[in-house]
Amino acid sequence: MFAPLADGKRAAGLPFGATQGSKLVVHARGLQNREPGFESRLPCLKFHTVYRTFNTERRREFVRITEDVEDAVREAGIQEGMVLVAAMHITAAVWINDDEPGLQADTLEWLDKIAPPSWKEPDGETARDLLPNAGDYRHHRGGEDNGDAHLKNLLVHHQVIVPVTDGRLDLGPWQQVFYCEFDGGRPKRLVIKVMGE
């Protein structure tokens, strides 16, 4: 059984504000002014790169970093642009979701069923079945034990791009940015790169 789906239909857009349809804000900057000094009013593209190092106490941890991303945007001094937030490791991730402890516990329990660690007992029959057929991750032949963390990195994804509008992160009311550690207890880096004007 499956629910019927709209195939290719465009949604009946409900107004968010008072008017029907989408809300439009244009931030195009022209170069019409040719009087002396005009060049100081030219668009000035800025790049600002911040590195953060995490060394979590626990092996797995969700660390809220919305404020770090906001700081980077403020330091860059841009009004319009985008911020890339990317884990520089392959056993961590960056996630935008609710800052709600219950949800985070649900998510980690679920991730351990879908991408099961081999350093603890499988959590149920599905987790047991999703472990490697060879008995353990092939990746562990080199002495590692973090094969599951690579799969969790794949599932959660290692990066997000946050839009910047009017100098602020253009996020929805419940969206918070998290660094997701799946193999912690050692220094691991994150890059925040701001691009805009």
Residues 79-98 that bind a copy of itself (CB under 8 A): 80-82, 84, 86-90, 95-98
Range 141-148 contact pairs with CB under 8 angstroms and sequence separation of 24 or more:
145/117, 145/118, 145/119, 146/91, 146/182, 146/183, 147/118, 148/112, 148/115, 148/116, 148/117, 148/118, 148/182
Contacts (CB under 8 A) with a copy of itself, residues 45-84: 45-65, 67-68, 75-77, 80-82, 84
Bridging pattern class, strands 176-181 and 61-64: antiparallel
Q: What are phi and psi of 138, to 5 degrees?
A: -60, -35
CB 104 within 8 A of CB 62: yes
**Is 11 near a copy of itself (CB under 8 A)?**
yes
Sheet with 176-181, edge to edge strand ranges: 61-64, 176-181, 92-97
Q: Which of residues 114-133 bind a copy of itself (CB under 8 A)?
A: 114-115, 123-127, 129-130, 132-133
Q: How far is the CB of 34 from a copy of itself (least distance, A)?
A: 6
Residues 162-181 binding a copy of itself (CB under 8 A) are 163, 165, 170-176, 179
Total interface residues for a copy of itself by CB under 8 A: 134
Say whether residue 145 binds a copy of itself (CB under 8 A): no
Cβ 55 to a copy of itself, closest distance in Å?
4
Structure tokens of 90?
């392959």
Cβ at position 75, least distance to a copy of itself in Å: 7
Kindly state whether residue 135 participates in binding a copy of itself, applying the rule CB under 8 A.
no
Instruction: Confirm or reject binding of residue 35 to a copy of itself (CB under 8 A).
Output: no
For residue 97, with 0-12 CB atoms within 10 Å meaning exposed, 13-18 middle and 19 or more buried, which class applies? middle
Q: How far is the CB of 32 from a copy of itself (least distance, A)?
A: 8
